[in-house]
Amino acid sequence: MDQTALPFSVDRLQQNLDTTFIGRHVYYFAQTTSTQDEAKEAALAGAAEGDVYLADEQLAGRGRLGRRWEAPARSSVLLTVVLRPPTPVYAKLFMVASLATAEAIQHTTGLVTAIKWPNDALLNEKKAAGVLVEGEFEGETPLFALVGLGVNVNAAPQGPGLLYPATSLAAEFGAPVDREQLTRELLGSLERWYQEARTGGPVHEAWRERLITLGKPVTARIGDETLSGTAEDVDGDGRLLLRLSDGALVPLVAGDVSLQA
């Protein structure tokens, strides 16, 4: 899709940001390995909370569990935000980030956006965005978190290699979508839900409300093991409670599991 009609300006993005600390500094890369790598290097060197690393193209974009994130150049929003959360908030970041992503997509396009547990944003039951939270720890204490967001704005990869069907905002909306506007919404939503998490706000409730996984039959892959059952609920830590056919209830931890289509 032609991107020239939708120029992306980091200066204009920052001028119009409705945040107090996320996006105070935005670092743009035309091409990099992964915005997670850029953000990590900067965070280790002392980058401030809220600093944003943004790329038009990633040569080694990554998902969870060592998987790849594929995105045609200039088609997507690919960014990482450095956060420095207190320990109890770190565990909520996957909820914060997926909720913020779903909300921002909905604000920008008006399309109803659901979350597939734990952190995929879906449009019409296809994956439009993914979230990756990585951290650096000293013992149990997070030194910093790298919240990575990848949104298929004007194109999405297709093919049998995908774990789950993919789509883009443009494909569902029926017209090109402005990446700059979406980025502004993403950073604004992320800051609001992060603040809610820090002040004990209803992050879990809002995240649970958007989950389309609940009540459905699912197949979960945990390493080499596959488990099938019904996704009964999520607990307070965001674990998925899977009811197996023998009646057992198994909690699945977000970081370790992928659900199949």
Chain residues in the site for ligand BT5 (CB under 6 A): 34-36, 58, 61-65, 67-71, 78-80, 120, 127, 130-132, 148-150, 152, 156-157, 162-163, 166
3-class secondary structure, 120: strand
Tell me the H-state helices in 199-260.
203-210
- Our CB check for ligand BT5 shows the closer of 14 and 258 to be 258
Q: Is the dihedral of CA 168, 108, 150, 219 positive or negative?
A: negative
- Our CB check for ligand BT5 shows the closer of 61 and 229 to be 61
- Our CB check for ligand BT5 shows the closer of 80 and 154 to be 80
Q: How far is the CB of 36 from ligand BT5 (least distance, A)?
A: 4
- Our CB check for ligand BT5 shows the closer of 140 and 224 to be 224
- Our CB check for ligand BT5 shows the closer of 79 and 203 to be 79
Half-sphere exposure of 89 (CA within 13 A, CB side): 20
Q: How far is the CB of 258 from ligand BT5 (least distance, A)?
A: 6
- CB count in 10 Å sphere of residue 42: 19
- Residue 220 tokens read as 């979960």
* DSSP H or E run through 38: helix 35-44
- Residue 13 tokens read as 């993005």
Q: List CB contacts of 236: < 8 A, sequence separation 6 or more.
A: 204
Asked if residues 236 and 139 have their Cβ atoms less than 8 Å apart, the reply is no
Q: How far is the CB of 210 from ligand BT5 (least distance, A)?
A: 16
Closest of 34, 39, 55 to residue 144, by C-alpha: 39
Q: Which residue is nearest to ligand BT5 (CB)?
A: 130
Q: How far is the CB of 57 from ligand BT5 (least distance, A)?
A: 11
* Secondary structure tally for the chain: helices H, strands E: 7, 12
Q: How far is the CB of 16 from ligand BT5 (least distance, A)?
A: 22
Asked if residues 248 and 256 have their Cβ atoms less than 8 Å apart, the reply is no
3-class secondary structure, 96: helix
Q: How far is the CB of 151 from ligand BT5 (least distance, A)?
A: 8
- Our CB check for ligand BT5 shows the closer of 12 and 68 to be 68
Q: How far is the CB of 134 from ligand BT5 (least distance, A)?
A: 9
- Our CB check for ligand BT5 shows the closer of 216 and 249 to be 216
